Amino acid sequence: MCGIVGFVGHKNAANKIINGLKRLEYRGYDSAGIALVEKGSGKLCVIKTAGKIADLEHEVQSGYSGSSETGIGHTRWATHGKPTKDNAHPHATEFIALVHNGIIENYADLRKRLASYGISLYSDTDTEVVAQMISFLFSKGASPLEAVQQTISLIQGAYAFGVVFNKHPEMVICARQGSPLAVGTDVDGRLSLGSDAVALSGFASQIIYLESGDIAQLYSNGNLNIFDKENNEVKRQWQPIDKDQAAPDKKGYEHFMLKEIFEQPSTIKNTLTHYIGRAVNKTDNVLETNIHPSGLNWNQINHITIVACGTSYYAGLVAKYWFEKYARIPVEVDVASEYRYRTPPIYEKSIGIFISQSGETADTLAALRYMRSLGHMCAAIVNVPTSTLAREADAVLPTFAGTEVSVASTKAFTAQMTVLAYMLIEALKTRNCIDLSADFAKEILDINELISRALDTMQKLAPLAKKLSKAKDIIYFGRGALYPIAMEGALKMKELSYIHAEGYAAGEMKHGPIALIDKGMPIIVLCPYDKDGLFHKVVSNICEAETRGAQISVLTCNKGRALFKEMGLKYSTYLYPETTQFTAPMLYSIPVQFLAYLTALNRGVDIDQPRNLAKSVTVE
């Protein structure tokens, strides 16, 4: 989603801004721009493109010959107004230029107000009203800080913005409310600003994450003034930049997504190591598992509400199956954009679990704030420990997946399920289901091995992916805890290959969706053998679909395939290691990710940055 960078007092600011924007490309965007303030003349130079950073870089190289030390840059993910050059940021007037991430909800009122001052707007964006208002107040004699403060008092919505003034080449002002924004400093005390640490790694050695409501003035001599939402000057803590957030590297893989799929055995292991220990007792060679305490008191928790978006939401749905079946704790799972608007009942002894890779998803954050405002304990499962969600939650359970660059989430998803599995194991132990807890701990400690074995055979999916790449629609079937994985498989397929795909609970098919099936419709079925009886139920559902002409491909295990053979059913089968109902969702995530990857590869689309998508969805 929109990304911001800015530099003050840096030689060749234009280059630095372009490099900073390149680091932000992973967030997803559709246009970009840069504004520079000339030191002597105070001239503002704005260059924008409706294309990629490479186009912007080309335009800057060919069209800019100045030597500015101060400037701001932006990648825009369009919300209000198409991704055109006019709508791209920075939005500039004679006096100022501004970049913004967020949504100004009362932009229509502000447009009217500006019109009454005789100011008309050139773009269709919500952002331009902020630029015009600051510029208007500045032109009427307000200082830069006053112009920003007065404008902020007029705007409603979420924002992170950076603004430069023609008469102040020595300064950048930035502010945030809701959307994330950070200030960086290098070893020589030169200041920069960025949407996240990734944007600033390589330039800054330390970082301050601004609090919601903060306004900061960054000067070329290294002075930094921060004001809180009451306009009191405050000090915020510098933190070293996490090396892990340094510029991402594909390490020889063709795509970040492929690299991240193959990293899963080690990212799951990293996550497990933090939560569950394994020791060999030397005397009798027995494996011991040690469940590290999370600080949550499972004896006091009788209800769970899980809130998340997209792939993270599906991790929550898997956890619902786990917690209800094994720990007998009722679980509600909500998509974050719905949660607070449906005025949900609040339960006694209930905990909220908020799941997010980025920790910056606006809907998930808003839901967390809503639940906390009702006095509820909220835990966050996040992959970015410095994120807003991590900072605002009462308890944080980090995933240790490392920076996820591909817009489509893979390794963060399995790491989220790993943490949820650990929470289940801890809950079982605390609630006196010691044996089940120990069994699950042993099982989960082996999942990375099973995933490694599954990854060794992934290329076998290539002929299927080739066929799927020509399909118009694809259906995924799953049951039990594999139903969320069927939906996740369909989501991955949609976002990467742009093929319409849906995941269904296989038994639900005959209640409507079966009408879609005609000759050749591909159906991917997640159907490992399981002793609880769902295997045979899925087989019946497959038969119903096959009789109507569907082309069935089954992801299963040896035992599953043997049973298909016994029943005389000849489907294309893809084999994976034996699992239980508990570990199956984690293992079967891998082939559905890979299938979507290979299908997209066949279609020649942009795998790491699919169209219209953003890595970090910072607007509601």
Q: Which residues are catalytic?
A: 2, 615
Residue 245 binds to ligand F6R (criterion: CB under 6 A): no
Report 445-484 residues binding ligand F6R (CB under 6 A).
none
3-state secondary structure of 526: strand
Binding to ligand F6R by residue 609, rule CB under 6 A? no
> Measuring CA to CA, which residue among 371, 356, 6 is closest to residue 173?
6
Helix segments in 182-289, DSSP class H: 197-200, 256-262, 264-275
By CB under 6 A, tell whether 309 contacts ligand F6R. yes
User: What DSSP line would sit under 93-126, residue for residue?
Assistant: -SSEEEEEEEEETTHHHHHHHHHHTT---SSS-S
**The pair of three-digit structure tokens given for residue 456, joined into one six-digit string:** 């060794």
Q: Determine the residue type at 440.
A: F
- The partner residues of 37 in beta bridges, in order of sequence, read 44, 70
**Nearest distance, CB of residue 104 and ligand F6R, angstroms:** 22
- Cβ within 8 Å of residue 252, ≥6 positions away: none
Residue 617 sits in the site that holds ligand F6R (CB under 6 A) = yes
589 contributes a contact to ligand F6R by CB under 6 A? no
68, 45 Cβ separation under 8 angstroms: yes
Span of 37-45, 113-121, 122-130, 357-365 interacting with ligand F6R by CB under 6 A: 357-365
Interface with ligand F6R by CB under 6 A: which range of 27-35, 55-63, 66-74, 309-317? 309-317
Q: How far is the CB of 493 from ligand F6R (least distance, A)?
A: 11
- Establish if 485 lies at the interface with ligand F6R (CB under 6 A): no
358 near ligand F6R (CB under 6 A): yes
Q: Is the dihedral of CA 332, 335, 339, 341 positive or negative?
A: negative
Binding of residue 305 to ligand F6R (CB under 6 A): no
**Shortest Cβ 338–ligand F6R spacing (Å):** 14
**Alpha carbons within 13 A on the beta-carbon side of 84:** 9
331 bridge partner residues: 304
419: helix, coil or strand?
A: helix
Residue 619 Cβ, how far from ligand F6R at the closest point, in Å?
12
- Positive or negative, the CA dihedral 101, 385, 222, 17 is negative
Q: Is 361 in the site for ligand F6R (CB under 6 A)?
A: yes
556 binds ligand F6R (CB under 6 A): no
Give the nearest distance from C-beta 421 to ligand F6R in angstroms.
Answer: 18
Q: Which stretch binds ligand F6R (CB under 6 A): 130-138, 169-177, 237-245, 305-313?
A: 305-313
403 binds ligand F6R (CB under 6 A): no
Which residue lies nearer to ligand F6R by CB, 128 or 404? 404
Q: Which residue is nearest to ligand F6R (CB)?
A: 310
Most distant CA atoms of the chain, gap in Å: 86
Binding segment (CB under 6 A) for ligand F6R, from list 62-70, 74-82, 215-223, 303-311: 303-311
Residues in the chain: 620
DSSP readout, 588-611? HHHHHHHHHHHHHHHHT--SSS-T
Residue 555 touching ligand F6R (CB under 6 A): no
- What six digits make up the tokens of 582? 């508990």
DSSP one-letter code for 516: G
Pick one of 123, 312, 556, 599: the residue that binds ligand F6R (CB under 6 A).
Answer: 312
Tell whether residue 608 is a contact of ligand F6R (CB under 6 A). no
CB 432 to ligand F6R: min, Å: 33
Q: Does 486 bind ligand F6R (CB under 6 A)?
A: no
Question: Is the backbone of residue 211 left (phi > 0), alpha (psi -120 to 50) or beta?
Answer: beta
357 binds ligand F6R (CB under 6 A): yes
Residue 6, Cβ density class (10 Å: 0-12 exposed, 13-18 middle, ≥19 buried): buried
Q: How far is the CB of 435 from ligand F6R (least distance, A)?
A: 34
Distances (CA, A) of 41 to 97, 140, 503: 16, 21, 60
* Closest among 146, 617, 541, 90 to 364, alpha carbons compared: 617
Nearest to ligand F6R of 28, 577 (CB atom): 28
Kindly state whether residue 618 participates in binding ligand F6R, applying the rule CB under 6 A.
Answer: no
Report the run of H or E that residue 547 belongs to, with start and end: helix 534-547
Stretch that binds ligand F6R, among 150-158, 218-226, 308-316, 320-328 (CB under 6 A): 308-316
The residue range among 15-23, 83-91, 259-267, 304-312 that interacts with ligand F6R, by the rule CB under 6 A, is 304-312
For ligand F6R, which residue of 25, 57, 126, 495 counts as binding (CB under 6 A)? 495
Task: Give the footprint of ligand F6R on this chain (CB under 6 A).
Answer: 309-312, 356-358, 361, 364, 408-409, 491, 495, 617
